[in-house]
Amino acid sequence: MRHHDLLILGAGSGNAVLDDRFADLDVAVVSAGPFGGTCLNAGCIPSKMLVATADVADTVRDAGRHDVDARLREVRWPDVRERVFGRLDAAAAEGEQGRRDAPGTTVYRGTARFTGPRRITVDTADGPVELTADRMVVAAGGRPVVPPVVADSGLPYQTSDTVMRLPERPEHLVVLGGGYVAAELAHVFDSAGSRITVVEQEERLLGQQDETVSAAFTEAVRGRWDLRLGRELTAVTGRPGDLRLTLDDGTELRADTLLVAVGRRPNSDLLDLDRAGIATGEDGRITVDAQLRTTADGVWALGDIATPVPLKHVANREARIVAHNLLHPGRERAMDYAAVPSAVFTHPQVARVGLTERQAREQGLDVAVAVHRYADVAYGWALEETEGFCKVLADRRTGRLLGAHLLGPQAATLVQPLVVALATGMTARELAEGPLWIHPALTEVVENALLDLPVPED
């Protein structure tokens, strides 16, 4: 049995805990998958590299709106795939080698499970290895949810872990699910030339977004994708490459590829956490306090296996919090989830921070709402943009910002000043009238939405 000062379980955001401040410790990093975790290998980074390619293709297709005659000949999917994963696979390998080369660090590759308090078994290629540690960080991530109707069919399907590595683009891709993963990957393959059908049990796509955004996005893609909303998948039959998908209304869809994008779940059920005294909630997430400590002494947790907001930028912040708390016992910092932004890199792009209008009203808040369209600012004219808008919510009495929601070009960038405002407690008027806003930059859509709010003057 090998003992370490510190053991990190997971090589995604968990690996980010370590820096030069830990150089004097005997550290173990344990991972079943490649270094970089989901984000680098099967999530945010490859998907955004593919989205960037999709956006280029869409720009060519839409060039006529700017009186430019252009024709898209082909998206060379095998070349795109090789460019993306040739780079990212090398980065994962370099990350692992860099960690192996770090003084005082041992890397164990294999699946792990707890066998007692701060004690695990790792099933490596050379056989099981028993490890103990004074302190541990559990950052073992999550995985896609696959409904039994698909898993039990015996027929092939894709998830976000696999679909981006397909050697050829599908001819007809059926996407099961209507959330952010479904929306981004539908955009990628639609722009690459696949025919897209989306099957979603809710009546709108992106149902977790503000209702105005969800409704607008659903209408924006209705003409490009075949939407089967309010429907459930009841059977998967046929054969590989010729799938027959039966919906609850009796409709049968035929497609060569099925992408399952109905959500993700934490990997906590794979680790025998109960043997370590590590509690989990009903949703499977490891229970942590504000300092990200678990119910087991000397064990912290972060990332998708524990966080209430499974996003990479959240996990990165959690890693910094855990690193500080490991190094400074008695002077721990707390994680703050009060103003977490998110974005959906689809077409049109979506971004948000804070409460939706429905959430604000359900909390009994007196909400002031303003919506300003991209088409009503000068750079919106330049873009010939007709769909985009910025929606802001504030407390009608105090003017304090409660939430912000954008749909349209550059939404993920435009939301950032609103994130700062929510995080620092600024009012809508303070943000609108304090700093100068560049004219005619697209940020004017945010400025004008703030000015449109019926709230008191500061």
* Active site positions, annotated: 439
| CA–CA gap between residue 394 and residue 271 (Å, rounded) | 43
Looking at 222-366, which runs of residues are DSSP E strands? 226-229, 233-239, 242-247, 252-255, 257-260, 264-266, 299-301, 342-344, 350-354
d(CA 270, CA 317): 25
DSSP state of 272: T
Tell me, rounded to whole angstroms, the distance of Cα 391 from its chain centroid.
22
- Tell me how far apart the alpha carbons of residues 196 and 189 are, in angstroms, rounded to a whole number: 8
Segment holding 128, helix H or strand E: strand 127-138
Nearest to 218 by CA among 384, 348, 372: 348
User: 81, 97, 122, 82: which is closest to 35 by C-alpha?
Assistant: 97
Per the CB < 8 A criterion, the answer to whether 283 and 274 are in contact is: no
Contact 147, 20 (CB under 8 A): no
Torsions phi, psi for 256 (to 5 deg)? -85, -20
Among 367, 354, 372, 368, residue whose Cα is nearest residue 446: 372
